[in-house]
Amino acid sequence: MAAVGGISSRVLPALALLSGVVFVLLLLAPGVAAEAAAAPAAGLEFRVGGPRGWRVPDANTSYGWWAMNNRFHVGDHLYFKYAHDSVLVVDRAAFDACNTTDPLAAFADGATTVRLGRPGFFCFISGEPGHCEEGQRLVVRVMVHPAALAAAPGPAASAPGTSTTQPGNGSGGRPRPSGCPGASSGAATAVAASTGVATAAAMVVLVGLIFMLQ
Protein backbone atom coordinates (compact mmCIF):
# COMPACT_ATOMS: atom_id res chain seq x y z
CA MET A 1 0.00 0.00 0.00
CA ALA A 2 2.92 2.32 0.72
CA ALA A 3 4.19 1.74 -2.82
CA VAL A 4 0.77 2.44 -4.24
CA GLY A 5 0.53 5.60 -2.14
CA GLY A 6 3.97 6.67 -3.34
CA ILE A 7 2.99 6.22 -6.97
CA SER A 8 -0.22 8.16 -6.41
CA SER A 9 1.68 11.00 -4.78
CA ARG A 10 3.79 11.32 -7.92
CA VAL A 11 1.09 10.69 -10.53
CA LEU A 12 -1.58 13.02 -9.15
CA PRO A 13 0.59 16.18 -9.29
CA ALA A 14 1.70 15.18 -12.78
CA LEU A 15 -1.90 14.80 -13.91
CA ALA A 16 -2.76 18.16 -12.38
CA LEU A 17 0.14 19.80 -14.23
CA LEU A 18 -0.87 18.12 -17.47
CA SER A 19 -4.47 19.27 -17.10
CA GLY A 20 -3.37 22.85 -16.51
CA VAL A 21 -1.17 22.96 -19.59
CA VAL A 22 -3.85 21.34 -21.76
CA PHE A 23 -6.20 24.10 -20.63
CA VAL A 24 -3.63 26.74 -21.63
CA LEU A 25 -3.13 25.11 -25.03
CA LEU A 26 -6.87 25.08 -25.64
CA LEU A 27 -6.95 28.81 -24.93
CA LEU A 28 -4.12 29.45 -27.38
CA ALA A 29 -5.46 27.25 -30.18
CA PRO A 30 -8.22 29.61 -31.41
CA GLY A 31 -5.76 32.49 -31.63
CA VAL A 32 -3.29 30.43 -33.66
CA ALA A 33 -6.05 29.29 -35.99
CA ALA A 34 -7.38 32.81 -36.40
CA GLU A 35 -3.95 34.24 -37.23
CA ALA A 36 -3.31 31.47 -39.75
CA ALA A 37 -6.66 32.10 -41.40
CA ALA A 38 -6.05 35.84 -41.54
CA ALA A 39 -2.65 35.57 -43.21
CA PRO A 40 -3.06 36.27 -46.96
CA ALA A 41 -2.33 33.52 -49.42
CA ALA A 42 0.43 33.76 -52.01
CA GLY A 43 -0.17 36.35 -54.71
CA LEU A 44 -2.03 35.51 -57.91
CA GLU A 45 -0.60 35.76 -61.41
CA PHE A 46 -2.61 37.52 -64.11
CA ARG A 47 -1.78 36.95 -67.78
CA VAL A 48 -2.18 40.35 -69.40
CA GLY A 49 -4.44 40.14 -72.45
CA GLY A 50 -5.44 36.54 -71.74
CA PRO A 51 -4.51 33.95 -74.39
CA ARG A 52 -3.69 36.69 -76.91
CA GLY A 53 -0.99 38.12 -74.68
CA TRP A 54 0.47 41.62 -74.78
CA ARG A 55 -0.27 43.03 -78.24
CA VAL A 56 -2.22 45.76 -80.00
CA PRO A 57 -5.87 45.06 -79.13
CA ASP A 58 -8.43 44.48 -81.85
CA ALA A 59 -11.78 46.22 -82.10
CA ASN A 60 -13.41 43.77 -79.68
CA THR A 61 -10.84 43.90 -76.89
CA SER A 62 -9.65 46.54 -74.45
CA TYR A 63 -6.99 46.46 -71.76
CA GLY A 64 -9.06 48.92 -69.76
CA TRP A 65 -12.00 46.52 -69.76
CA TRP A 66 -9.71 43.61 -68.83
CA ALA A 67 -8.33 45.55 -65.85
CA MET A 68 -11.83 46.54 -64.70
CA ASN A 69 -12.86 42.88 -64.61
CA ASN A 70 -9.98 41.82 -62.37
CA ARG A 71 -9.09 42.72 -58.80
CA PHE A 72 -5.40 43.19 -58.02
CA HIS A 73 -3.78 43.04 -54.58
CA VAL A 74 -0.31 43.73 -53.26
CA GLY A 75 1.82 40.65 -53.92
CA ASP A 76 0.07 39.68 -57.15
CA HIS A 77 1.97 39.46 -60.45
CA LEU A 78 1.28 40.57 -64.00
CA TYR A 79 2.64 38.27 -66.71
CA PHE A 80 3.27 39.84 -70.12
CA LYS A 81 3.77 37.41 -73.03
CA TYR A 82 4.74 39.02 -76.32
CA ALA A 83 6.89 38.84 -79.46
CA HIS A 84 8.65 41.69 -81.27
CA ASP A 85 7.39 44.12 -78.65
CA SER A 86 8.26 45.50 -75.21
CA VAL A 87 6.77 46.55 -71.89
CA LEU A 88 7.44 49.96 -70.39
CA VAL A 89 6.55 50.89 -66.82
CA VAL A 90 5.71 54.59 -66.85
CA ASP A 91 4.18 57.31 -64.71
CA ARG A 92 0.68 58.62 -65.34
CA ALA A 93 1.81 61.58 -67.43
CA ALA A 94 3.79 59.34 -69.80
CA PHE A 95 0.88 56.90 -69.90
CA ASP A 96 -1.59 59.58 -70.94
CA ALA A 97 0.78 60.98 -73.58
CA CYS A 98 2.10 57.58 -74.80
CA ASN A 99 5.59 58.91 -74.06
CA THR A 100 8.18 56.12 -74.42
CA THR A 101 11.31 58.25 -73.99
CA ASP A 102 11.85 58.03 -70.22
CA PRO A 103 10.25 54.90 -68.71
CA LEU A 104 10.63 53.92 -65.08
CA ALA A 105 11.51 50.41 -66.28
CA ALA A 106 11.75 48.72 -69.69
CA PHE A 107 11.51 45.04 -70.65
CA ALA A 108 11.95 43.29 -73.98
CA ASP A 109 12.54 39.65 -73.02
CA GLY A 110 9.24 38.35 -74.44
CA ALA A 111 7.99 36.96 -71.12
CA THR A 112 7.98 39.60 -68.39
CA THR A 113 6.64 39.16 -64.86
CA VAL A 114 6.04 42.29 -62.80
CA ARG A 115 5.29 42.06 -59.08
CA LEU A 116 2.70 44.49 -57.77
CA GLY A 117 4.60 45.34 -54.61
CA ARG A 118 2.64 48.33 -53.29
CA PRO A 119 -0.89 49.74 -53.27
CA GLY A 120 -1.77 52.34 -55.85
CA PHE A 121 -1.68 52.58 -59.63
CA PHE A 122 0.71 50.88 -62.08
CA CYS A 123 0.90 52.08 -65.69
CA PHE A 124 2.26 50.07 -68.63
CA ILE A 125 2.61 50.91 -72.32
CA SER A 126 4.16 49.25 -75.33
CA GLY A 127 7.53 50.60 -76.39
CA GLU A 128 6.93 49.91 -80.08
CA PRO A 129 6.19 53.02 -82.18
CA GLY A 130 2.47 53.62 -82.55
CA HIS A 131 1.34 50.68 -80.41
CA CYS A 132 0.38 52.73 -77.36
CA GLU A 133 -1.63 55.11 -79.54
CA GLU A 134 -3.49 52.08 -80.90
CA GLY A 135 -4.56 51.02 -77.41
CA GLN A 136 -1.70 48.83 -76.19
CA ARG A 137 -1.49 50.35 -72.74
CA LEU A 138 -2.69 49.24 -69.34
CA VAL A 139 -3.29 50.85 -65.96
CA VAL A 140 -4.16 48.72 -62.93
CA ARG A 141 -5.18 49.72 -59.44
CA VAL A 142 -3.61 47.64 -56.67
CA MET A 143 -5.20 47.31 -53.23
CA VAL A 144 -4.02 45.82 -49.95
CA HIS A 145 -5.54 42.38 -49.44
CA PRO A 146 -8.34 42.40 -46.81
CA ALA A 147 -6.69 39.47 -45.03
CA ALA A 148 -3.48 41.47 -44.64
CA LEU A 149 -5.38 44.43 -43.19
CA ALA A 150 -7.17 42.20 -40.68
CA ALA A 151 -3.99 40.38 -39.67
CA ALA A 152 -1.70 43.32 -39.02
CA PRO A 153 -3.06 46.85 -39.43
CA GLY A 154 -0.26 49.26 -40.17
CA PRO A 155 0.27 52.89 -41.16
CA ALA A 156 -1.90 54.37 -43.87
CA ALA A 157 -0.82 53.45 -47.39
CA SER A 158 1.01 56.04 -49.42
CA ALA A 159 -0.92 57.99 -52.01
CA PRO A 160 -1.11 56.39 -55.48
CA GLY A 161 1.87 57.22 -57.64
CA THR A 162 4.33 58.07 -54.85
CA SER A 163 6.47 55.00 -55.57
CA THR A 164 7.00 52.70 -58.49
CA THR A 165 6.97 49.05 -59.43
CA GLN A 166 9.19 46.27 -58.19
CA PRO A 167 9.75 44.27 -61.40
CA GLY A 168 10.22 40.56 -60.93
CA ASN A 169 12.09 39.70 -64.15
CA GLY A 170 13.75 41.53 -66.99
CA SER A 171 16.23 44.37 -67.00
CA GLY A 172 16.52 48.06 -67.61
CA GLY A 173 14.71 49.38 -64.53
CA ARG A 174 15.97 52.46 -62.71
CA PRO A 175 16.03 52.47 -58.89
CA ARG A 176 13.02 54.15 -57.30
CA PRO A 177 11.85 54.54 -53.68
CA SER A 178 10.11 51.40 -52.49
CA GLY A 179 6.48 51.48 -51.43
CA CYS A 180 5.04 50.73 -48.01
CA PRO A 181 5.78 47.14 -46.93
CA GLY A 182 2.97 44.62 -46.97
CA ALA A 183 1.25 43.58 -43.75
CA SER A 184 1.56 39.84 -44.31
CA SER A 185 4.83 39.68 -42.33
CA GLY A 186 2.99 40.82 -39.20
CA ALA A 187 0.52 37.97 -39.48
CA ALA A 188 3.32 35.45 -39.95
CA THR A 189 5.12 36.79 -36.88
CA ALA A 190 1.96 36.50 -34.77
CA VAL A 191 1.39 32.92 -35.88
CA ALA A 192 5.01 32.02 -35.14
CA ALA A 193 4.84 33.61 -31.68
CA SER A 194 1.65 31.77 -30.73
CA THR A 195 3.03 28.49 -32.00
CA GLY A 196 6.25 29.05 -30.04
CA VAL A 197 4.33 29.58 -26.78
CA ALA A 198 2.40 26.37 -27.32
CA THR A 199 5.59 24.41 -28.06
CA ALA A 200 7.34 25.77 -24.97
CA ALA A 201 4.38 24.83 -22.77
CA ALA A 202 4.40 21.29 -24.13
CA MET A 203 8.14 20.95 -23.40
CA VAL A 204 7.62 22.12 -19.81
CA VAL A 205 4.95 19.47 -19.31
CA LEU A 206 7.17 16.72 -20.72
CA VAL A 207 10.13 17.63 -18.52
CA GLY A 208 7.90 17.92 -15.44
CA LEU A 209 6.37 14.50 -16.01
CA ILE A 210 9.78 12.89 -16.41
CA PHE A 211 11.03 14.29 -13.09
CA MET A 212 7.82 13.47 -11.19
CA LEU A 213 7.68 9.86 -12.35
CA GLN A 214 11.30 9.09 -11.50
Q: For residue 31, is pLDDT > 90?
A: no
Output 79 or 19, whichever has higher pLDDT: 79
Output 149 or 101, whichever has higher pLDDT: 101
Query: Is the same domain home to 59 and 98?
Result: yes
Query: Is the same domain home to 209 and 158?
Result: no
Query: Is the same domain home to 85 and 111?
Result: yes
Query: Is the same domain home to 169 and 191?
Result: no
Query: Which of 41-55, 103-117, 188-202 has the highest mean predicted lDDT (pLDDT)?
Result: 103-117
Query: Is the same domain home to 120 and 33?
Result: no
Which pLDDT does position 121 carry in this prediction? 96
Query: Is the same domain home to 27 and 108?
Result: no
Query: Is the same domain home to 174 and 149?
Result: yes
CATH number of the domain that 55 lies in? 2.60.40.420
Which pLDDT does position 178 carry in this prediction? 32
Q: Considering only 45-49, 152-156, 163-167, which range has the smallest mean pLDDT? A: 163-167
Output 34 or 63, whichever has higher pLDDT: 63
Which pLDDT does position 146 carry in this prediction? 81
Query: Is the same domain home to 69 and 96?
Result: yes
Average pLDDT, the chain: 70
pTM score: 0.54
Q: For residue 59, is pLDDT > 60?
A: yes
Q: For residue 171, is pLDDT > 60?
A: no
Q: Considering only 27-31, 89-93, 109-113, 152-156, which range has the smallest mean pLDDT? A: 27-31
Which pLDDT does position 145 carry in this prediction? 84
Query: Is the same domain home to 192 and 126?
Result: no
Which pLDDT does position 60 carry in this prediction? 84
pLDDT tens figures, 121-139: 999 999 999 999 999 999 9
pLDDT tens figures, 86-121: 999 999 999 999 999 999 999 999 999 999 999 999
Q: For residue 43, is pLDDT > 60?
A: yes
Supply the range of the domain harboring residue 112. 45-182
Domains held by the chain: number: 2
Query: Is the same domain home to 100 and 66?
Result: yes
Query: What are the φ and ψ backbone dihedral angles of 88, each rounded to 5 degrees?
Result: -115, 130
Query: Is the same domain home to 84 and 10?
Result: no
Query: Is the same domain home to 76 and 111?
Result: yes
